[in-house]
Amino acid sequence: MFKSKHRVRSVGGFFGVASIACSAIFATPLVAQDKVTKLDIASVFGTSNYLGQKAEKIAEDIKAISGGTLDMRVHNPGDLVPALEVFNSVSSGAVPVGFDWLGYWGGTIPVTGLFGGLPFGPNAEVFNSWVFDGGGVEILQRAYDPYGVHVVPCMISPPETGGWYSKEITGPEDFDGLTIRIAGYGAKVLSKLGASTQLIPGGEIYLALERGRIQAAEFATPMIDIAMGFDEVVDHYHFPGWHQRSNWDSLIFNQEVWDELSSTHQLQVELACRANIQRALSDHMPLQAAAMDTFKGKGVQFHRFSDETMEALSNAWDEVRTEEFAKDELLQEAYDSLMKHAAMFAEWDKLQDLSFAPE
């Protein structure tokens, strides 16, 4: 049994089993009970921004659909553990649950780098389909099993931006000597082009830019970046987000904590996470458009990387992929599986293409 002081905490008794149709799952828990399970969530994101607020929304949904019998409280980075210690803390049982960006754990579990951000990879629609209907989540769980962690994918983001820079990037040579905050495989790619990369938690990026510790930074999408205040320090905003065409956040449970939950509570967590994924896919674009309009009004300069720059980034990624994937069989298996799934979409899209050349 789970012995941590953060173990599942329960009060009350059991009333009995209710016979409820599946259609009522979001109105009433499948099992009528007054037993309340309380869990703390250590988030890698602060609740002042969209990502941390999504974690709070998930917790609210879980509480609502469980009829209040599963009560989860989100804590900001540093309240329980620092952001970059969330995975190890969940694995050890120091905290029962975490809310994370999967890419943070790529140094320990290589396959998470694929979920955190695959350079020049498929879009969110394809990735989402692969995770739930192409074997992706099963592969991810196999990677987590040795660490005693159960993972529930909870959010997918659309393409991020290419980042914030103190000057315009006009060619690949401008990365040489540049100090930039960037994570995951994107960092390895830019290192190939001579950049000095740093992994800095989101809440610390603004100060790093302001104090000159870094000259550039990528973090997320416009509607998230706007809350971070990066435009107050640098004003060159680059596109496209070649390094993260889509990426995942998740709830991670200490495996013993997950196993102690009832099957009903487990299902309610999974349903709340699927609902949040749908919510993120639907609200992202309107929020991006509004944020970009605000940035333009504040004088932020928008740039697209040149074709020469994109080609250099793509070539560097080919090198990184060859080097990194050769080190880990599961990572290669996941990539091959994802690319096979993406090819199915490509064939469909080609047949459904509505473009035509007028006579």
Contact 265, 150 (CB under 8 A): no
CATH class of 9-159+245-285: alpha beta
60 a known binding residue? no
Q: Where in the chain is the domain with CATH 3.40.190.10?
A: 163-244+300-348
**For residue 359, what pLDDT is reported?**
67
Confirm or deny that 219 is annotated as ligand binding: yes
d(CA 17, CA 33): 8
Listed in sequence order, the DSSP H helices in 219-261 are 222-228, 255-260
Q: Residue 165: CB partners within 8 Å, gap ≥ 6?
A: 215, 216, 234, 236, 237, 238
- Parts of the chain with a pLDDT under 70: 1-34, 359
346's tokens = 């490509």
Find all residues with CB under 8 Å of 343, minimum gap 6, and list them. none
330 Rama class: left (phi>0) / alpha (psi -120 to 50) / beta = alpha
Q: Choose among 193, 192, 175, 199: nearest CA to 103.
A: 199
Q: What is the pLDDT of residue 285?
A: 86
Is 181 assigned a ligand-binding role in the annotation? yes
What the block records as the tokens of 279 is 């919510």
- Domain boundaries for CATH 3.40.190.170 within the chain: 9-159+245-285
Cα gap 15→319, rounded to integer Å: 60
Q: Kindly report, residue by residue over 280-324, the tens digit of the pLDDT.
A: 999 888 999 999 999 999 999 999 999 999 999 999 999 999 999
Q: Provide the pLDDT for residue 6.
A: 46
Consult the annotation and say whether 26 binds a ligand. Answer: no
CATH topology assigned to domain 163-244+300-348: D-Maltodextrin-Binding Protein; domain 2 (3.40.190)
Q: What pLDDT does 34 receive?
A: 61
Question: pLDDT digit string (tens) for 25-67?
Answer: 444 444 445 689 999 999 999 998 889 999 999 999 999 999 9
Neighbours of 68 (CB within 10 A): 11
To the question of whether residue 244 is assigned a binding role by annotation, the answer is: yes
Instruction: Please give the share of the chain, as a percent, with pLDDT higher than 70.
Output: 90
* pTM reported for the whole predicted model: 0.86
